[in-house]
Each structure stands twice: as C-alpha cells, then as structure tokens.
Chains A and B, each alone.
Chain A
C-alpha cells in the first residue's frame, strides 16, 4: 500500500491554494492596476526562490463524510525567499479574497510573519493591502470565548521587537488602512506607489461617519499626503519601481543586528578628488548651493539612496557607500529654511540615527546647520522637543561617526550632528558659533548699536569684526577639529577613515540600547 492517494490530494490542495480569489478576483485586481500578492512576491524576490510556509492553509468545507467540498485559501501568503541571493521572509495579504481582511486562516499566517523573521534572523518584507479586521469577523456569540486570554503574549510585541532585530521593509500597493497601516509604519523603510496606493487609519466611510467630512481615499491618504506626512519614506512610480527600491534599501543593511552591513567591492577610486568641490560653497553665506551634488561627488558613484526627500526636507537623509562600505548620510539642505531643524526634520533625524545605530551602520554627516527653526509655527509644532530628541539620539549613538563641517554650525541644533565616536573634518567655508552673525550681533550688541550715531554702520562694523574672527584656522590650531581639509580631499580622507573603523565595526554587533521604534 502506498500513500499515493494522499500525495495526490496534497498536490491538489496546493493547486487550490494558488487559485487565490479565483479568475474573477484576479481579473478585478489587475483591472485596478495592481498585481496579486503572488505576483508581488515573485516581483520582489530573485526568480524562483519563493518557498511558501503553510501552502495548504485554508478554510475547508467538509461534508458529513469528510469529503472536501470547498477550499478557501488563507488570504495571507508568507514564506522564505532571496533578494540578491540573501535570505528574506516575505508576506502579504491576498486582496482578491475578502478584500485582504484576514480570514481565520489568513490571520494565523499574518501574525506569523514577524515571528518567522525574528526566529530565523532574516529581514522581513511586507506587502500590505487591505483594511485589517472587520466587525463581521469579531466573536461574541453566547457561550463562546471572546478576546484573547489575559495571560496571552502581547499581540503587538513582536511587531516592535522585530525592529530591533532584523531589517523590516513595508510596501503599500493598494488601500492600506487600520492595522495594516500600523504595520506599514512599524518598518525601517516604507514605500507606496504614486497612483495605486492610499494609506489611512480609517477610510472615507469611517471619516464621514465620525467627522461629517466627505473625502476620497486619495484625498485622505494619497502619496502626495504621505510623502510629506513622513509615514512613508519613499514614493514609487509603480509596483516594479517599488520592488526595485525595496531590493536597493536592503542591499545596504545586514541580515540582522548580529551581522555586519555588507561591504562590496568598490569600482570607484577611493582617492577620486572632484575639482568642483573647491567652488561648491559660495563665499556669500546667504547664497544657496546644491548639497545633493556635493554628496554625489564624494560618495561612491551612484550609491546615494535618499529616504523621505519631501518630509522634513531641510534635513537630507539616505544610505550610500564609501569604498564599498554602507554608510548613513545626513546633510542639511540650505534651500529649505536654510537647512534649519524643524519639528519634522528632528523626527526624521532621530529615527534615521536610531536605524543606523540598530544596524551598526557608520554615519557621515555634512553639517550646514543654522539652528532650530524659529517662528510662531515652529513653536506651535513643538520643534525644540523633537530637536532635542535628535540631539539625544546622536549623543547616545554607538556607531563611528564622521562630521564634515561644510558651512554653518550654529546653536544647540548643531550638537545633533556630532556623536561620541567622532571624526571631525572642516572645510574652509565653515562658520560656527552660538548664533548666525546677522541675528546674533543685533541681539548681543543692541544697546551699543542703538546708542551709535549711525546704528546701521555700527552693526555692520561689529558684524565685520566678528566675521574676521570667524576664521577656520583657530579651531584647527586648538584641535577642536581633527583636520581642516581641502574640500576636494573629502572623499579620500573619508575612505581612509572607513578603513580605520573596520575593527570597530567588527566588534559592534548585537542589539543596541536604543533600537528604532515606529
């Protein structure tokens, strides 16, 4: 007697599970301009590497003779796969079944995705689509059990714990609301498609019922809203662009906090010196310049991957490589509020530092900080708290950290740009102090200026006197910076530093004291 009959049945059930919401459900999903969960998994992974977990998980319907009548697949698909040959866990709701709202079988697998990633210590890639739980699914029948037992483990703890153990990446490729929206933000990197995704806590029907406001899904939570709200990092043009961004983000990160971020062979000369860096900073300190061009000239060619460019836009944050070593890059964008630290920039900064700290990725910080943002809106936004949170994150960071003073460095906000494990370089264009001269002179010398025969001339005279005292040389003479450098030397100097920090990076493994939280 062989087990051939059962084996045939196993294969039949696997086929049934792959039918998802049936031909009609799949056609509807495609008509919305979206891929199915299985197409998404195939799209984000290396071809043919998906190894599903729980292939036959379903809601079965048996007759009295235990004959299978119906078979509704779990509407959450999860499993292992590879990205650039490296292991990942990937999972996501099947929107073709019940609009992604978890059926009983789907819920079990969905909760398992984080456990799987943490248990096997490999990155988690989530595809999210759907509105989470439904009141239809809630229990409450008399005589049955309601809710989880009081002694059960906290259902969301694994969501938080995962962020301190493995890279977590989330993709929003449809309407994402409720708990799935919560999962989306509990990530180190989140991305949504520009035209086919919306992210909301509660959708239009809930909003209208609660607040009497009628808005479409796009008006509530389209990409144009969330690129600026900061709940997603990046916008993708379509789902394929989304897969590319996810693969690229993961290429800079280790598989878990116990490993080192992967250093690759560098095909860009570490000694490369770009002539244009000599003129990159205008001598007129109020004239703007393009910080991103400077970053591109110094980091490995085409290696800069920017995160959340429209959120807290005065602060640039992204991942890049120097001599093949992944680094976190921070830089001020003087074109947005002179690069000042706004409330949003402060939150972006803190989260980014915590992410780099969690995965032991060294930071390279290009400083052009005029200070915390000021003004009535800045006060209403609570800027100083978020700014100090950024300062605290830097002050307690454990990673090697290079600060390049390229231009301004004023006020307490500047402290966010330095960490205990510092390597400090300065360009000749550096200006620093408690306050920028223009405002600072007017405040500190207001009596002297008011008493002068020509107050304007007096103010200018004081500004000029102090400006000449602001030469870069004394800071180098006092060893307040490690090195005053020719801007063209920045890449070679940083690449040499990368070599010197290698033993420290070898030692810096394991969980960090302050992992990133959503």
Chain B
C-alpha cells in the first residue's frame, strides 16, 4: 500500500467530481474535471487504487500543486 497524493497541475476551479471517496479506480480513470482558462482538464488516476480522500468539492477554487485527492495503491 502506497499513498499517492494527487496535485492539481493548474490554478482554476473544480468543475465536476467523477468519483466518490472510497471508489476503486484503474490507472487512467478520470477522478475529477478541473476548469482553467476555459479548458476542461481531466485529472486521471496515475495508478490503480482506492480513492482514500477527496480534498475538494465541485466549484472549489484550486491552486497549482494543491493536493486535491489521495489514492491508496
């Protein structure tokens, strides 16, 4: 079990959260969609695992490098 912190690559807003805390995900699954500079930016799971924490909700503002979710792999 490794703990993987997922960071936002951009400053923007959370547009849609696609998974709930506790969800099992595969590598490449979309966890949430951010919106920045009018682009919809999917945040994908880098590895398969379980979403142990969702640190943001829809419409929250996020900053570059902010931890937005934690994955247990």
Q: Which of A's residues lie within 8 Å of B, judged by CB?
A: 286-288, 313, 334-338, 340, 370, 373, 375, 377, 436, 438-439
Contact = CB atoms under 8 A, between A and B. Distances in A.
A286 B39 CA distance: 5
Contacts of B42: 288
B39 A338 contact: yes
Interface of B: 9-11, 36-42
A335 B9 contact: yes
Nearest to A284: B40
Contacts of A334: 39
A313 B7 CA distance: 14
B40 A286 contact: yes
A36 to B, nearest CB: 33
Most B-side CB within 10 Å, residue of A337, A340, A439: A337
A436 B9 contact: no
Nearest to A313: B9
Contact of B37 (A287, A370, A377): A370
Contact of B11 (A370, A377, A438, A439): A377
Given A337-B36, A337-B37, A340-B37, 19 more contacts: A286-B38, A286-B40, A287-B40, A288-B40, A313-B9, A335-B39, A335-B41, A336-B10, A336-B41, A337-B10, A338-B36, A338-B37, A338-B38, A370-B37, A370-B38, A377-B11, A436-B38, A438-B38, A439-B38
Nearest to A335: B41
Nearest to B65: A228
A313 B41 CA distance: 14
Nearest to B35: A286
A334 B39 CA distance: 7
A290 to B, nearest CB: 10
Nearest to A378: B11
20 contacts: A286-B39, A286-B40, A287-B40, A288-B39, A288-B42, A334-B39, A335-B9, A335-B39, A336-B41, A337-B10, A337-B37, A337-B39, A338-B37, A338-B39, A340-B37, A370-B38, A373-B37, A375-B11, A436-B38, A438-B38
A346 to B, nearest CB: 16
